[in-house]
């Protein structure tokens, strides 16, 4: 499961059966029900590992979202029994906004889910190489 964690909304992605590529699933609001909704998805989709985007600034330092994301990952690990891995997410949202020809697609509703898929695919490529 890939997660593009944001303070207002969270993109979700899942891998293919072979565990080689991430695919956008949907977006959840980051509200008081987020952890429970993700736990339901983990159970329903038989998730083995959660991959969250590691939010860093251009200098490689954690940005303001990183601390909240790490706290959420820790809580998710405690409640699910799964490990949460972090994968660099630099510019994944911008990349997700582009179509196949590299043209920006304004207002795409699935940008966060697509970013989660990019994060998950990056992790899967790196760990299955």
Task: Please give the share of the chain, as a percent, with pLDDT higher than 90.
Answer: 58
The pLDDT tens digits for 67-97 are: 999 999 999 999 999 999 999 875 555 555 5
In this prediction, residue 117 has a pLDDT band, given cuts at 50, 70 and 90, of: very high
How high does pLDDT run on average in the chain?
Answer: 85
Of 122 and 128, more confident: 122
- The pLDDT of residue 100 is 42
Asked whether residue 34 carries a pLDDT value surpassing 90, the answer given is yes
Beta strand 2-4 with 9-15: parallel, antiparallel or unpaired? Answer: antiparallel
Give the burial class of 9: count Cβ atoms within 10 A of its Cβ; 0-12 exposed, 13-18 middle, 19 or more buried: middle
Per CATH, the architecture of 2-127 is what? 2-Layer Sandwich (3.30)
- The pLDDT of residue 71 is 95
49: Cα within 13 Å, side-chain hemisphere: 14
Q: Give domain limits for the chain.
A: 2-127
SS (H, E, C) 15-47: ECCCCCCEEEEEEEECCCCHHHHHHHHHHHHCC
Interatomic CA distance for residues 61 and 28, integer angstroms: 26
Query: Structure pTM?
Result: 0.84
């Amino acid at each position: 499961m890939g997660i593009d964690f944001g303070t207002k909304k969270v993109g979700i992605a899942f891998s293919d059966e072979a565990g080689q590529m991430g695919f956008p699933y949907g977006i959840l609001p980051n509200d008081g029900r987020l952890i429970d909704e993700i736990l339901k998805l983990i159970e329903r989709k038989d998730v083995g590992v959660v991959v969250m985007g590691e939010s860093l600034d251009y200098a490689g330092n954690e940005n303001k979202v990183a601390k909240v994301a790490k706290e959420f990952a820790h809580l998710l690990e405690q409640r699910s029994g799964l490990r949460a891995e972090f994968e660099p997410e630099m510019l994944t949202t911008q990349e997700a906004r582009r179509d196949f020809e590299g043209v920006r697609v304004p207002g795409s509703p699935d940008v966060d889910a697509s970013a989660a898929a990019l994060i998950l695919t990056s992790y899967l490529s790196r760990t299955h190489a």
